[in-house]
Structure 1
């Protein structure tokens, strides 16, 4: 059956891939993704529930579901829909393209983070499997996208995301942010506005029904429990890190000096290369040369040169203060 689905040029997968981007093709692929994520979360969807979670007309979704059953992409039992092996394999191919494209946007372009998901949503319906493989090669065969989601391999295998929601952690827990969920958008926007970075080590200071407070890279952050669910934390032993030593360059004050420990994972692509070219490399000594009365940019002295950085740039540089 897998051969009938993916046989060259004539298989169902390749027919809808090689034709123009039809509305039905997009509907089918969106349904496959929806079912994949639902099943991974341990949930089952019914025929009547699917249209409300997609942006298409109910009739169009119902027609696509009928075609998907006929082509062995899904099966329906007592109104409940589940993926077949073929459907799951197809869904993984779409998810692979989406996450690879988000990685490309993060590493190779200057698009705002809020644009990554929508642009990847469009591209996932356009790239062939061969094009996705070429993109993966260009990016160095990444295992995770910029949000921390695992990227399926050519064979559909994915790395395991090991972590728990921040909202579930007790006070004094120490861990590392390994995933930032970008949906719903309102929660993701708040996380971006707070300047919370993937890869940051955190320590939970407060956790109750109204807010969660945590320390990360020299700063305190406060989130509602609902928004905190969008952050996945890999818990570590307290002795594995010293959460007070690694801070952001923005915390540096006049007359203080520091050693650069590295760049945050939030610093990507051209922006990362520019900071490195300017001398913000591991081991370099840095201090404040001149403060701006308007708060930013701040002029930093590094390797005998004065470099002005805005706060959003400086927050991506991690330091250890030496005095």
Structure 2
């Protein structure tokens, strides 16, 4: 056979093979994408229904679509599939979880909260980023991977916001916290949970340097506003914002440090003694401060301030150490 003809046939065969491969993968990728999208919507619906159930409210197609920011046209086929697979029940336009759907929802919540714990303990991501990043990962991690992550984190019982993490079997620790406006006035308590939704309220709480574990005392309250003191600073919040902060009474072995302030509040000429580190101080930051000798009872004073007042050099154990204000905010002191 003519060599030129052979080369032409080989070339044509390669072109056809490439074309067939392209058709195969281009047809498969949209299918995989559609399957993943359906899975994500299904799991988002289950999680939302679980939260509705816990708030003792009810859900229908319209408010569910609104909460998930999806159109009825997009959500309705998924609802039909979920009904057929036994994850949900429909009663007079009300949508409810079955026991199977509830257990599935708890698996997604478990992964979400474990991933938030991982982001808080093992990465440098800001608190305002944890929820959004965890919402992406909750649809990608398998149960086996979640079990490994839980073990890696030391089997935590609560996420960084204070929410209990479901066990592998779907069990959760019961919580005793109440919204801050509902707590007794002039009685010391501690923040045990900060709701991270809606994001605009959560961001406002973060900007006021309020963390899980912080000791607070409610000073005044009415239907519109509450005022309270936290680590040496007085705050005024609307009751709507304050209701996103949950507290509980101090345990018998916890002492309310009435004069406690953050290290960042220390001025030239003042001396102080370290009370301890905020629970919000985690991972590498916590290890660094402990390695630097920031321990209860340590004497500290301002050594030097930069022109922009950040960072600040502090004299600790005859050594000058520079700390950003964001890190100094996590060190609690008593001024001498």
Q: How does 1:1-323 map to 2 (within 5 A)?
A: 22-236=36-250, 241-292=255-306, 294-321=308-335, 323=336
Residue 10 (structure 1) aligns with: none
Rounded to whole Å, the distance in 1 between the matches of 2:291 and 2:230 is 26
Rounded to whole Å, the distance in 2 between the matches of 1:237 and 1:130 is 36
Q: Which has the larger radius of gyration?
A: 2
SS of residue matched to 1:271: helix
Rounded to whole Å, the distance in 2 between the matches of 1:24 and 1:242 is 50
Q: Which segments of 5 or more consecutive residues in structure 2 lack a partner in the other structure? A: 1-31
Rounded to whole Å, the distance in 2 between the matches of 1:267 and 1:141 is 19
Given that 1:178 and 1:199 are in contact with CA atoms closer than 8 Å, whether structure 2 keeps it comes out as yes
Q: Deviations over 1:98-124 (max 9, x none)?
A: 000000011111111111111100100
Rounded to whole Å, the distance in 2 between the matches of 1:296 and 1:261 is 22
Q: State the number of aligned residues.
A: 305
Given that 2:61 and 2:72 are in contact with CA atoms closer than 8 Å, whether structure 1 keeps it comes out as no
Residue 5 (structure 1) aligns with: none
Which 4+ runs in 1 deviate beyond 4 A?
Answer: 18-21, 237-240
SS of residue matched to 2:294: coil
Residue 22 (structure 2) aligns with: none
Rounded to whole Å, the distance in 1 between the matches of 2:140 and 2:307 is 49
SS of residue matched to 1:50: helix
SS of residue matched to 2:140: coil
Rounded to whole Å, the distance in 2 between the matches of 1:157 and 1:265 is 25
Given that 2:262 and 2:333 are in contact with CA atoms closer than 8 Å, whether structure 1 keeps it comes out as yes
Q: Which moved more, 1:29-38 or 1:170-179?
A: 170-179
Q: Which moved more, 1:94-103 or 1:159-168?
A: 159-168
Q: CA deviation at 1:256?
A: 3.0
Q: CA deviation at 1:19?
A: 9.7
More helix by share: 2
Q: Which segments of 5 or more consecutive residues in structure 1 lack a partner in the other structure? A: 1-17
**TM-score w.r.t. length of structure 1:** 0.89
**TM-score w.r.t. length of structure 2:** 0.85
Given that 1:167 and 1:226 are in contact with CA atoms closer than 8 Å, whether structure 2 keeps it comes out as no
Residue 14 (structure 2) aligns with: none
Given that 2:113 and 2:159 are in contact with CA atoms closer than 8 Å, whether structure 1 keeps it comes out as yes
SS of residue matched to 2:69: coil
Rounded to whole Å, the distance in 2 between the matches of 1:137 and 1:53 is 33
Residue 14 (structure 1) aligns with: none
Q: CA deviation at 1:52?
A: 1.2
